[in-house]
Amino acid sequence: MVQKILFTWSVHVSLGEGLRKTRGGRICCNTVQPRRTMVRRKGLIRCLVVDGDGEFREDVFGDRGLGVGLDEEIPPSGDAPSRSWVPVGRLRDFLKEKENELTTVEEAIGSRPDHPLNLRLAFVADEMSMGVSRALKRSDGALAVIPQVKRIELPSSPDEPGERITDLPDVYEKTLELQVAGADAVLIHTDQVRYGCSLGDFQSVTKRMLRAGSRPGFDGAPPLIRGDFIFHPLQLAEAAELGANAVILIAGLCLPDLENLLNSAALMGLEAIVECHTELERDIALELGATILYLSNLDYSTCRITPGRALSLRTEVPDWIVTVAGGGIRTASECWEYLDAGFDAVVMGRIFMQTRRANALIAEIQSRRRDVSQRFFENFGFDESDEQRLRGML
């Protein structure tokens, strides 16, 4: 069986010779070259492999436990622990439901090449505002605040209905309230089943904002972010057509197609925020060029919160990447912990759906700031060690 290396586990590893692009634009190589394509972390060499049947598998080789070194040939996969990569747990169920929804949409527009969604897929957008990146990377050193708009809390058990946290008769009025309160961006969920909001709610917000003379992401209006279980470019076309500025891409749902989705989002004028819960998801997102990472305590495979996960994932992310934290954050003191860890923004849901003092909460969160006086283009992407080496060469 033919095996190919798909991704390395580190953004700092340069890929070796013999690499090529597959149809989906993924980086592959026909021969394993450990010195170039593997990375040693915590005594392991790790890679993501796609076999001849298109199955994704994570292979983990011990430096010496399996007799494998960086200069030696990698043994066949049968000699190492491995598993096929597919969305796991509840993410697998979410994906199946979304595939069924998308099939209905494809059937409706398939015979209409002039349909707005088909036009979004066929042509490059004439502009990309970058409003989300600007909004989240505040120049004053304060945390950017992103309220989540939703009516239902994601249930932790598949056998239980989600908790209704607010009736929220008008999503537009809530978005306007959050804008006045000082929200830097607003995340609107469009999964009716799990979050109680829909594409219609999102469309209502953008239309009424435009009628009021306010364009999302421009002229002081907060950018709007679509949150959903996105795995296909057609869903990006929906977001662009609705007037969204950015979308959430849950890496655990769409990992094999993440590069294609990042490229498609850019072509449609959307910024992509990649949500990660594991080191693998984070490292692959960085390798593929993601510039906004949403490091989440929420594990969608179980729909449970893992305290401290976002903080642990932040340590190996370059400072020039926009980093967002989320998952169970409810107080200003928790937000300050993420500020001290180097995060640029926080996502908060339930508290903003239930509080009547959104402006006071945002003001409290942003009352504490870090020193950004030395920040100059985030060191042009160089970390401190790179900068020291360059200084030594002068």
**313 and 220 part of one domain:** yes
Angle between helices 332-340 and 358-365 (to 10 degrees): 30
Residue 22 has pLDDT above 70, yes or no: no
Helix (H) or strand (E) holding 22: none
pLDDT in tens, 78-130: 444 444 568 999 999 999 999 999 999 999 999 999 999 999 999 999 988 79
What tens digit of pLDDT does each residue of 175-198 get? 999 999 999 999 999 999 999 999
Do 30 and 141 lie in one domain? The reply is no
Q: Identify whether residues 132 and 277 lie together within a single domain.
A: yes
| Selected residue with higher pLDDT from 14 and 305 | 305
Band (219; pLDDT cuts 50, 70, 90): confident
Mean pLDDT over the full length of the chain: 81
pLDDT in tens, 339-357: 999 999 999 999 999 999 9
Contact 239, 151 (CB under 8 A): no
Say if 377 falls within a structural domain: no
Residue 161 binned pLDDT confidence (cut-offs 50, 70, 90): confident
Structurally, the chain folds into a number of domains equal to 2
What pLDDT, on a 0 to 100 scale, did the predictor assign at position 335? 98
> How confident is residue 372, by pLDDT bands cut at 50, 70 and 90?
confident
Percent of the chain at pLDDT > 70 equals 73
| Residue 94 lies inside a defined structural domain of this protein | no
In a domain, 160, yes or no: yes
The reply to whether 132 and 202 lie within a common domain is: yes
Pair (219, 172) in one structural domain: yes
pLDDT for position 97:
95
Residues 149 and 57 in one domain: no
Short-list 273, 218, 217, CA closest to 245 = 217
DSSP string, 351-381: HHHH-S-HHHHHHHHTTS----TT-SGGGGG
Inform me whether the pLDDT recorded for 239 exceeds 90.
yes
Residue 145, Cα to own-chain centre: how many angstroms?
Answer: 16
Q: What is the DSSP letter of 55?
A: -
